[in-house]
Amino acid sequence: MAQSDTVDRILDAAEELFAERGFSETSLRMITSKAKVNLAAVNYHFGSKNALIHAVFARFLTPFSATLEDAFDDLEARCDGEPPTLNQTLWALTESAVRMPQRNEKGISIFMRLLGLAYTQSQGHLRKFLEQEYSQPFSRFMRLLKEATPQLSAVDRYWRIQFMLGATAFTMSSSDALQDILQNKLGVETTVQEIAARLVPFLAAGMQAEDTMLVPPPHKTSVA
């Protein structure tokens, strides 16, 4: 056991419980009892519950953002001046996520759910933490998206990026429950990789949809 694995045990338990139940709904007592660790250990090692939440994100996000930067470097190098296509950009992102070394078989889906929760639950401190710690790869991704969709107006692109984020965060954030339902109803086993493989074409098609027409025409109410 070398020094002390208490810190990792806490992080593991917290990660899993946060993903299952959300942040506010998970108490330190649940975490410490799942981790088989004394209650005070959290405040001793991390300082506060919020700091623990940040640490859970940092443990995954820091190596991930490095991997992602590499993937983007690779991609831009291969494209040699030409801006990467939308598909290439989206794939670079998902591949980076899937290739991360994972603590266990459901590591990625747990973390996707956490990211979804981070965006969804208002938790101001988390949002601030993520924005100021990981703004660089995020901005770079945004720039790539912009260069890959020059035909879109700024406003259209802005909203469609939100739609993409939403579809991704939402799907991944409820993927456990959804996978349960899907297994029961259709008898299909689905991995995160397969979900991503379905998601990317959906997003790419949405991004490249015909230009938005602001007056919704394809509808004829009451009057035939």
Partner DNA sequence: CTGCCGGTCAAACGTATGTTTCAAACAGAC
Partner DNA sequence: GTCTGTTTGAAACATACGTTTGACCGGCAG
Decide whether 27 or 153 has the Cβ nearer to DNA: 27
Asked if 14 touches DNA (CB under 7 A), the answer is: no
- Binding site partner of 40, from DNA, a copy of itself, none, Cβ cut-off 5-8 A by kind: DNA
- Binding site partner of 145, from DNA, a copy of itself, none, Cβ cut-off 5-8 A by kind: none
**Which stretch, 41-49, 103-111, 136-144, 184-192, contacts DNA (CB under 7 A)?**
41-49
Q: Where are the alpha helices (DSSP H) in 22-85?
A: 28-34, 40-45, 49-79
- Cα Rg for the chain, rounded, in angstroms? 20
The rounded distance, in Å, linking the Cα atoms of 172 and 166 is 10
Asked if 29 touches DNA (CB under 7 A), the answer is: yes
- The DSSP 8-state label assigned to residue 88 in this structure reads H
CB of 165 to a copy of itself, least distance (A): 7
Q: Where are the alpha helices (DSSP H) in 134-220?
A: 135-148, 154-173, 175-186, 192-207
Query: Which secondary structure element, helix H or strand E, spans residue 128, and what is its range?
Result: helix 124-133
- Binding site partner of 39, from DNA, a copy of itself, none, Cβ cut-off 5-8 A by kind: DNA
Decide whether 7 or 130 has the Cβ nearer to a copy of itself: 130
Decide whether 2 or 77 has the Cβ nearer to DNA: 2
Non-local (6+) Cβ contacts of 34 within 8 A are 13, 16, 17
User: In the set 8, 20, 21, 39, which binds DNA (CB under 7 A)?
Assistant: 39
Asked if 193 touches DNA (CB under 7 A), the answer is: no
